[in-house]
Amino acid sequence: MSRTPTALLADDEPLLREHLATLLGRLWPELEVVAQARNGREAVELFERHAPDVAFLDIHMPGVNGVEAARAIGRRAQVVFVTAYDQYAVQAFEQGAIDYVVKPFDAQRLEDTVQRLRERFERAPAPAAGSADGGAALDPAVDALPQGRPAGLQWIKASVGNSVRLIPVEQVHYLRADEKYTLVAWEGGEALIRRSIRELADELDPQRFVQIHRSTIVNLHQVQQVIRGPNETAEVQLKGRPELLSVSRSYLHLFRQM
């Protein structure tokens, strides 16, 4: 029994999709490209609709990326990754035993890939349909991709004039509670934001931002000096600022000699 092999191509760059389709047409004339997707989400949708035998997936795509799309497809198709130089992606391939081609395409390399696909297709024309549990093989590959590790709050949004400024937290000198609001003092000025100091304290990197008073948080990187006063009190002076911020007794241990 012979059946026409079908393929899905996914790449966010239209010229590259066309180019791959052209090259495949030359190297594997029987292959029918049944769908072209512009991103990972479309790739999965079109896969469900057309159930192609092969899926060529670009790794770097907006929204759902190629590796995530491959996981959704599982073993229902032969997946070939397509990518430009990308060290993480290469790492990912090394862990999942799946073929890949790099952009710009090398005709010889692409021919090898086509050869391998053809052999598999001739041996088992209809891949195990319906088994979506093959994603497990890809899991280590997915784990190898750079994940957005939460590193705490990095930017503070504050209304200045009629724009919403994004202040990098390293520029922040201190935060002070002001009723329902919080005063943010940074290199570029001061602004009130509509968030409570407790909320901010939870989100900021505790290595850098410490509470010195019920209503005050300072950026340790901006501390100029700590002045000890009588009766177990101290005040913090920040770089380039005149005001002194008082340290309450319960936070004084932060500034003891280490």
For another protein, the binding residues (CB under 8 A) are 12-16, 18-19, 22, 38-39, 41, 60, 62-63, 84-86, 102-105, 148, 150-157, 160, 163-166, 168, 170, 188, 203, 207, 210, 220-221, 223-229, 234, 254-258
DSSP assignment, residue 145?
A: S
Taking CA atoms, 162 is separated from 15, 157, 165, 169, 185, in Å, by 41, 13, 9, 21, 18
Contact (Cβ atoms closer than 8 angstroms) between residue 144 and residue 151: no
| Nearest to another protein of 138, 247 (CB atom) | 247
Minimum CB distance to another protein, residue 90 (Å): 12
Minimum CB distance to another protein, residue 124 (Å): 32
| Nearest to another protein of 149, 180 (CB atom) | 149
Minimum CB distance to another protein, residue 118 (Å): 23
| Nearest to another protein of 121, 212 (CB atom) | 212
Minimum CB distance to another protein, residue 145 (Å): 14
CA–CA dist 198, 72 (Å, integer): 40
| Nearest to another protein of 118, 165 (CB atom) | 165
| Nearest to another protein of 29, 104 (CB atom) | 104
CA–CA dist 98, 88 (Å, integer): 15
- Collapsing DSSP to helix, strand or coil, 113 comes out as helix
Report residue 255 CA to chain centroid gap.
37
| Nearest to another protein of 14, 140 (CB atom) | 14
CA–CA dist 161, 122 (Å, integer): 68
Contact (Cβ atoms closer than 8 angstroms) between residue 77 and residue 138: no
Minimum CB distance to another protein, residue 147 (Å): 13
Q: Which residues make beta-bridge pairs with 55? A: 8, 79
With b for 16 or more beta-carbon neighbours within 10 A and e for fewer, the 154-163 pattern comes to eebebeeeee
Minimum CB distance to another protein, residue 258 (Å): 6
